[in-house]
Structure 1
Amino acid sequence: MVNINDIEQKLELEYPCNWCYKVVGEEREKLENAIREVIVEREHKIAHSNTSRTGKYISLNLELLVHNEEDRQFIYDALKAHQHVKMVL
């Protein structure tokens, strides 16, 4: 039996491509501002994804065109490092 953790496969993407990040935080307005600070004036779509059962956290889907692996990773890292972002998926 093969353990999924033993398989090292890298996601193969053809760039440029649309990519969706799920961005989690406590306040929608602060999350939207964080996203805009990271992506500046790039064309994007933001849509509500979910609210936690207690209402403390919300998640937004951020969809935009990424140009290459470095671009995709840079956006992920920059969002993750933002003070108003709790998690990025």
Structure 2
Amino acid sequence: MEEKAVNLEDKKLELTYPCNWDYKVIVHKDCDIHDITKCVFGEREHKVQKSNKSKSDKYHSYKVSTLVHNDDDRKEIFEQLRKDENVKIVL
């Protein structure tokens, strides 16, 4: 069976802004996701919904949703979430 690979490097995400965007944020179970989102979003409207937890219960994941106004805004929020020391992964 022949494997097919898709090169996504040349593909650009086409979005119409403003739009709602969901981030999947994975944190250590003892971390308060609301402390992180308050630091990143401040007074900006956003929603946090618990999503899942690891089998060992060491990590919990959350869906964090907000309105993004442009590509730079979307990427900046991603970077701010990613840089928090309590965040394991952002998708």
Query: What is the TM-score when the length of structure 2 is the normalising length?
Result: 0.89
Kindly tell me the number of residue pairs found equivalent between the two proteins.
Answer: 89
- Superposition misfits of 4+ residues, deviation over 3 angstroms: none
* Cα distance in 1 for residues equivalent to 2:88 and 2:70: 25
Choose the corresponding residue for 1:65, options 22, 44, 67: 67
- 2:6 aligns with 4
Question: Using a 3 Å threshold, how does the CA distance of structure 1 residues 43 and 7 change in structure 2: closer, same or farther?
Answer: closer
Write 1 or 2 for the structure with the bigger share of helix: 1
Unaligned 5+ segments in structure 1 are none
1:23 correspondence with 2:32:
no
Aligned-residue CA RMSD (Å): 1.7
Unaligned 5+ segments in structure 2 are none
Q: Any idea what SS the aligned residue of 1:47 has?
A: strand
Shift of residue 32, structure 1, vs aligned partner = 1.9
- Percent identity, aligned pairs only? 42
Query: What is the TM-score when the length of structure 1 is the normalising length?
Result: 0.91
